[in-house]
């Protein structure tokens, strides 16, 4: 009895731990899969293209503002208003670049650029006469920072590319872990299926053996119901079974 119980106990323990492993593996795989999905969404090509466009537009608007200064020397109201418009665009691009996430490397240059542009606001907001008179001062201020927009653009795009590459590598690692867990869970499921199939065959064989044993036992019991009495040559009873007592009253 004890020897028959031990294999069944081992099967139950093995199935129990396999089921736990599958549940744990699935619980781990679910958040990893969600993390992979969100990481992929975070590095979408549209976002990367938009960031690269914002950085490149900073340099473009700076060059447009420099050209607008030369045109504004004509002194017409339209040209001076056009200069203000391009300055506003340059200021806006600087503000947008400063709010780009993870753009830490270029922050000192962006801060310097914004400070210099802030100092030009009184001149830009002044009347046309003063703006025209101080155009040389305004131009010299922009010449002093002519390297900043390009440097900010190059550095920011380089940092964005490095961050994207790091995120891609992270996704690759997460996918590797996820694939390992999926394969492990699949192996455990196949193992449980094979184990259950073997258990089914073992139970079927045990059932057949038990049935055959029951038949043999029933046959023996039926035979034992017959009264058996043993006599010697002189007719003296030498032995008998229990059924003989009930049947013959021996």
What percent of the chain shows pLDDT beyond 90? 19
In 10 A of CB 30, how many CB atoms? Answer: 12
Residue 81 counted as domain residue: yes
Rounded Cα distance between 183 and 206, Å, is 34
Helices 2-42 and 147-224 cross at an angle (nearest 10°) of 160
Closest alpha carbon to 21 in 175, 197, 188, 180 = 188
Q: What is the pLDDT of residues 37-65, one digit of tens each?
A: 666 655 555 455 566 777 888 889 999 99
| Residue 97 belongs to domain with CATH number | 1.20.120
**107 located within any domain:** yes
Q: At which residue do the structure tokens 């131009």 appear?
A: 139
Return d(Cα 185, Cα 179) in angstroms, integer. 10
Cα 97 to Cα 120: distance, rounded to the nearest angstrom:
19
Range of the domain at 100: 45-169
* In-domain check, residue 25: no
The pLDDT tens digits for 196-226 are 788 788 888 888 888 888 777 556 545 555 5
pLDDT band at 95 (very low <50, low <70, confident <90, very high): confident
The answer to whether residue 125 is domain-embedded is yes
Would you call 148 exposed, middle or buried from its count of C-beta atoms within 10 A (0-12, 13-18, 19+)? buried
CB 198 within 8 A of CB 206: no
Alpha helices in 43-72 (DSSP H): 45-72
Is residue 235 situated within a structural domain? no
For 161-175, give the DSSP string. Answer: HHHHHHHHHHHHHHH
Give the total number of structural domains in the chain.
1
Specify if 24 maps to a domain.
no
Nearest CA to 154 among 194, 103, 117? 103
In-domain check, residue 165: yes
How far does the chain reach from its first CA to its final CA, in angstroms? 38
Report which listed range, 6-20, 30-44, 148-162, is most confident: 148-162
């Amino acid at each position: 009895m004890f020897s028959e119980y031990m294999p069944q106990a081992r099967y139950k323990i093995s199935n129990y731990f396999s089921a736990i492993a599958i549940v744990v593996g699935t619980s781990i795989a679910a958040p990893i899969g969600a993390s992979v999905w969100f990481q992929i969404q975070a590095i979408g090509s549209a976002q990367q293209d938009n960031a690269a466009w914002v950085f490149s537009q900073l340099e473009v608007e700076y060059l447009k503002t420099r050209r607008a200064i030369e045109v504004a020397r004509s002194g017409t109201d339209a040209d001076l208003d056009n200069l203000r418009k391009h300055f506003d665009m340059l200021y806006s691009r600087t503000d947008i670049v400063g709010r780009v996430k993870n753009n830490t490397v270029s922050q000192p240059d962006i801060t310097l650029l914004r400070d210099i542009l802030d100092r030009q606001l009184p001149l830009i907001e002044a009347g046309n006469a003063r703006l025209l008179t101080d155009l040389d001062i305004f131009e010299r201020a922009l010449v002093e920072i002519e390297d900043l927009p390009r440097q900010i653009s190059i550095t920011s795009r380089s940092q964005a590319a490095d961050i994207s590459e790091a995120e891609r590598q992270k996704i690759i690692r997460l996918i590797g872990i996820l694939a390992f867990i999926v394969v492990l869970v699949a192996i455990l499921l196949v193992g449980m299926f094979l184990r259950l199939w073997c258990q089914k065959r073992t139970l079927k064989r045990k059932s057949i053996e038990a049935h055959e044993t029951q038949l043999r036992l029933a046959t023996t019991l039926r035979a034992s119901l017959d009264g058996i009495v043993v006599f010697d040559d002189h007719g003296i009873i030498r032995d008998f079974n229990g059924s003989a007592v009930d049947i013959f009253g021996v």
